[in-house]
Structures are given as structure tokens and as C-alpha cells.
Amino acid sequence: MPHDHHDHLSPSGHPYRADNDGPLSYWQLMEIAVRELLIEKGEVTSAQVAAQIDAMDARHPSNGAKVVARAWSDPAFYEALMADAAKATCEMGFDIGPMNLVAVENTETVHNVIVCTLCSCYPRNLLGLPLDWYKTREYRSRTVKEPRKVLAEFGVELGAGVTCRVHDSTADMRYIVIPARPEGTEGWDVEALAVLVTRDSMIGTGLAKQP
């Protein structure tokens, strides 16, 4: 009788999975307390807090994909991007704020990959929130020591004729990789090109999709 009085089974007969059933952590409680105090004292409104969360969630790798597709298509923009990426992308509406941005380009002979060994620096205005794996000690420590092995685990095999350049985002710069433009995309417009640009291809742990 699978449905009889088994506390660890749901009425459908499946085991219950752990969920967020435990008490709040110290920092979760602290965040709620500080946020409620700020609202109570009139420093911010709950609408402002919600709007900021919406603004953070609105940042998405499709922003970065627009930058890459334009760099592939528009030689003047490409030059401006390589010279001053923060300025060039700000003019597209992607403001990185007080940080600065460096664009690095993959070619037939160079493959770039980005890591932040000290924390989780990431070009959030172009790619959204950093991924959990990007923040792990494993990715951060191994990418500076054995990048080719790490890339192979992501499915990117670098040939013998390719130099791997790792960029450790240690201070005020943020980085975006401009992946190599796939062959067979001559004459494509920027909207079509942007669809080929994946999030991982802009971190260097992936390549642009083939058409």
C-alpha cells in the first residue's frame, strides 16, 4: 500500500524533496531587517526596492550579444569598442557605471577566457548576474592554472596553434570576449547574428553558435 502513512512520501507516492523549510540565516535576517528599517524611516520606498530588483533582472546576456553582433558588422564600432569598450557600449545604452570595460577578441590563433579569482567580477550590465559556476572556487582556481582542461570540460578544445589568454578580473576592469564570427554568416544582419552569441561565448567558456 504505497499511500499509507509514509511520512516521507507525498500523497502522490513520491519522496518529499528538501526545500527552503529551515530558518532564515543570519544574513537573510539582516537583509530583511535593514530593508524594512530603511523603508520605515523613509529612506527608500518598497516600490524603489522592487524597481531596482526589476532593473537587475532586466540585464541579460542579450545585451552583450547586441554588442558582439555590432562589433562583427560595423568596423567603426569595432575600432571604438577595442579602443574604449566602456564608452562604446555606453553609447549603445549599456552604462557600466564607475567600472571600466575591456573587450578582448578571439581569433584563429588566440582564445580569451575571463575569470575573477578574488571574487566574482562580471560585466553585469552586458551579461546579467554571474553564474553560480563562475563564482565557485573550482572555476576560479583552476582557470588560471589549467585553462585548457577547464575549457575542454565546457566543450571547447583549443588546438596546438592557439594561444590561450586568461584574464583575471582583479580590480576595476570588467571584460567581454568578442567570440570569432562563425563562417557562413556573411551578409547577415545584426539581429540574426546576435542570436548566435551565447553567454558562455562572451566569457570565453564557449564559442558562438554555428549557423
Partner 1 sequence: MYRTGAQVRIRSFCPPGHIRTPHYLRGKTGVIERALGPYENPEQRAYKLPAPERQLYRVRFSMREIWGEAAERPDDTLDAEIYEHWIEADHAP
Annotation says 141 is catalytic? no
Annotation says 10 is catalytic? no
State the catalytic residue, choosing from 90, 120, 164, 169: 120
Query: What is the phi-psi region of residue 67: left when phi exceeds 0, alpha when psi lies from -120 to 50, beta otherwise?
Result: alpha
Rounded CA separation 103/114 (Å): 11
State the catalytic residue, choosing from 62, 121, 141, 169: 121
The answer to whether 64 touches 126, Cβ cutoff 8 Å, is yes
Q: Which of 125, 118, 50, 115 is nearest to 89 (CA)?
A: 125
Annotation says 90 is catalytic? no
* Comparison of 193 and 202: residue with beta carbon closer to partner 1: 202
* Comparison of 143 and 193: residue with beta carbon closer to partner 1: 143
For the bound state, the minimum distance from the C-beta of residue 149 to partner 1, rounded and expressed in Å, comes to: 7
> How far out from the chain centre does Cα 26 lie?
28
* Comparison of 158 and 190: residue with beta carbon closer to partner 1: 158
State the catalytic residue, choosing from 116, 164, 169, 201: 116
Rounded CA separation 22/29 (Å): 13
Annotation says 116 is catalytic? yes
For the bound state, the minimum distance from the C-beta of residue 185 to partner 1, rounded and expressed in Å, comes to: 28
For the bound state, the minimum distance from the C-beta of residue 147 to partner 1, rounded and expressed in Å, comes to: 7
For the bound state, the minimum distance from the C-beta of residue 74 to partner 1, rounded and expressed in Å, comes to: 23
For the bound state, the minimum distance from the C-beta of residue 183 to partner 1, rounded and expressed in Å, comes to: 25
Rounded CA separation 171/13 (Å): 52
* Comparison of 60 and 145: residue with beta carbon closer to partner 1: 145
* Comparison of 46 and 163: residue with beta carbon closer to partner 1: 163
What does the binding site for partner 1 look like in residue numbers (CB under 8 A)? 100, 102, 117-118, 144-149, 163-173
Q: Which of 108, 107, 89 is nearest to 99 (CA)?
A: 89
Element housing 173 (H / E): strand 173-178
The answer to whether 201 touches 156, Cβ cutoff 8 Å, is no
SS3 content of the chain, % helix, strand, coil (to 5): 45, 10, 45
Instruction: Report the catalytic residues.
Output: 116, 119-121
